[in-house]
Chains A and B, each alone.
Chain A
Amino acid sequence: MSIHSPHVTIPMDSEPLPQWLIDRGPYTPALDRDGFLQKNVLHMMEMLSHIKMQRGRDDALGVDASIRLATILLTIVLVVTSKNMMFAYVVGAALLVRLALMPGEQIISVLKPVLGAVLFSALVMLPAVFMGQPSALIRISTKVFISVTLLAVLSRTARWTNIVGALRTFHLPSIFVLTIDTALKFIVLLGEVALEVLDAITLRSVGHNIQKSSAVSGVLGVTFIKAQGMSQEMYYAMECRGFQGEYVFPRKRIWTRRGLLYLAIPVLAILVFLYLEGII
């Protein structure tokens, strides 16, 4: 890998390079398709930057992530259950207002997955229009927009460790929360390993490389083998810090004043839902 080998020394009074070595050759590498390599590299980098961007970010509004997550779950349940499209439109409008309050960069990063999901669902629902169920296209696409946007806004405005911590508030088994916590960290570490191997393949693939496709299984193979060692090291590190087989969380105060104020949102959502569905 290293270019600077300690054995290569350049003598001061060396012979000049022979002419044939200086002449420019007519080498043009054969064209090769490496779409999937580039796709993987870009995809991987986008995901990594996405995770790294949220580091050190403070939670918006100062509301505990568990309250926000519970509100989102409630809203999604209400949207999915509603038989009247009015409720979905109201929530959609409120969400657009929330989006409008965010900085432009954040709006873009929210809209990327949202538009992908909405477009996909519109395509999947297109045949339904010709089956005599044209409303499915609008209904499901609108509702998909709402659910994906709700979660995307949360993931862009809250620190992910706090969202994982919220899962603990919901009494998920500690082993599962530990798994998610570890996974989030290792996605970055292993993603970087995979990226390095991909880079190495790209560097070695000047021109036509027929072995490129078979090298791809190696990317994940190497990543897996590295992961083995890393998990061993992580266990030693945990043991050094007194890990006894139980994963404990520091409990935080959830119900701050802001948290209580935030409760107005789910209450309002329920009231609007009941009103629009004709229950009250």
Chain B
Amino acid sequence: MHIPDNYLSPETCAVMGVVMIPVWAYSIHKIKKDLPREKLPLIGVAAAFSFLLMMFNVPLPGGTTGHAVGGTLVALLLGGPQVACIAVSAALLIQALFFGDGGILAFGANCFNMAFVLPFVGYGIYRLIAARVKSGPNSKVAIVVGSYVGINVAALCAAIEFGVQPLLFTNAAGQALYCPYPLSISIPAMLIPHLLVAGVIEAIATIAIYSYVQKVAPSFIQARVSAASQGTTAGKPRALRPVYLLVVALIALTPLGLIAAGTAWGEWDAEGIISEAGASYVPFYLQDGNGFSWSALMPDYSLSGLPEAAGYILSAVVGVALLVIVFRVVGALAIRNSGAGGSAVSGAGAA
């Protein structure tokens, strides 16, 4: 998700940088206010940790590997998204300055996606669910859903940043100056691999590392949890309805966003990862001969016919069903674990 330079216009980069200034200011203010002084080096250590996390490969089924961003995890372990925001920003700057990973002009945009949206959304959803379930702050469902949704919302933001480029910045001949892909391509290209692969890695890494720390150093987690619960929640499980509403809304919004952007899930399904898009993408355009209509924001569905529309309604249904299945399985495993009184790591990890 590290956006390199030249994909976004300098104007977009400037806007994203300006947007990040109040976020950084708020985070630093909050850290200075809330974090005891002896915890100050911890932010730097957290930045180092999140840097290592991003370069650490997690094994995936089928012998492949992938890496997590870990924004939600850093927020969870270090008591808040503000710390994660500064830590991940520092890690991103180190990557951009010294390792050529992510652009230096696009630094604001990268921070917006991975240091702001990811930890704040991930941690927010975690808190929302954790306050309403019996297992409270240690709820595995809350951690898994939070980290999964967090990285996907971040990927959606990156996709929108890419997708608006050809709308806003073209030369006299109508050719895009920066990223040439409209929203109809950038959103599925970013979201599908994240929904299917990267989000799963993020959720597995978050729950596995959190559970490990919880198992090996329970006092650390307890101290953090008690500090967190003093904040807003009284520790009482609240009604679950808002959480269900949120989940339903998210499920509904995901396919809606794709339909609105005018794409079929199916075409990108086989890609898996954006870097592979090139190879398997070509035949589709060559066969269908409709490559040019893709440069328009809304392809004309009445002309392209029924099968395409039917195709992505079907994929949307499959996507929603998969999400529900994951929720159910994670939920069932969580109940089983709390019933047995143990805290099995592998259960949630397998989901």
Residue numbers of A with Cβ under 8 A of B are: 33, 35-36, 39-40, 43-44, 47, 50-51, 72-73, 76-77, 79-81, 83, 113-114, 116-117, 120-128, 130-133, 135-136, 140, 143-144, 147-148, 151-152, 154-155, 160, 163, 173, 175-176, 178-187, 189-191, 194, 213-214, 216-225, 227-228, 230-232, 234-235, 238-239, 245
Contact = CB atoms under 8 A, between A and B. Distances in A.
A209 B140 CA distance: 26
Interface stretch (B43-51, B142-150, B242-250, B318-326): B43-51
B275 interface: yes
A36 B91 CA distance: 23
The 9 lowest CB-CB distance pairs between A and B, nearest first, are A182-B44, A221-B212, A217-B208, A186-B48, A126-B278, A183-B47, A113-B100, A143-B6, A147-B5
Given A144-B5, A176-B89, A186-B48, A217 B59 contact: no
Main secondary structure of the interface of B (DSSP, over half): helix
B96 to A, nearest CB: 7
23 contacts: A36-B58, A50-B99, A130-B291, A132-B292, A136-B180, A140-B7, A144-B6, A155-B99, A178-B43, A180-B93, A182-B48, A183-B51, A186-B48, A190-B45, A216-B58, A217-B209, A224-B49, A227-B45, A227-B48, A228-B220, A232-B38, A234-B41, A238-B41
A175 B89 CA distance: 12
A147 B279 CA distance: 26
B82 to A, nearest CB: 12
Interface string B276-296: 111101100110000110110
Given A80-B9, A124-B274, A140-B7, 14 more contacts: A127-B282, A143-B6, A148-B4, A148-B5, A179-B86, A180-B90, A180-B93, A183-B47, A187-B51, A216-B208, A217-B345, A222-B216, A227-B46, A227-B48
Chain B residues touching A, range = 35 or more
B233 interface: no
Interface string B34-69: 000111111111111101110111110001010000
Contacts of A123: 275-279
A114 B205 CA distance: 29
Nearest to A193: B52
B87 interface: yes
Nearest to B212: A221
B311 interface: no
A248 B32 CA distance: 16
A114 B4 CA distance: 11
B222 interface: no
Given A80-B105, A128-B181, A190-B52, A181 B44 contact: yes
B94 interface: yes
B217 interface: yes
B175 interface: yes
Nearest to A43: B55
B10 A81 contact: yes
Contacts of B58: 36, 216
Given A227-B48, A231-B41, A128 B180 contact: yes
Contact of B44 (A35, A36, A120, A179): A179
A221 B213 contact: yes
B336 to A, nearest CB: 18
Contact of A223 (B52, B97, B99, B101): B52
B42 A133 contact: no
Interface in B226-282: 274-279, 281-282
B324 to A, nearest CB: 26
A225 B275 CA distance: 34
Nearest to B103: A147
Contacts of A231: 39, 41-42, 44-45
Nearest to B51: A187
A77 to B, nearest CB: 6
Contact of B53 (A120, A220, A225): A220
Given A76-B104, A120-B275, A151 B49 contact: no
A163 B104 CA distance: 14
A81 B14 CA distance: 12
Nearest to B11: A81
Contact of B295 (A125, A131, A147, A221): A131
A242 B209 CA distance: 35
A144 B4 contact: yes
Interface in B82-130: 86-87, 89-91, 93-94, 96-101, 103-105
A152 B101 CA distance: 10
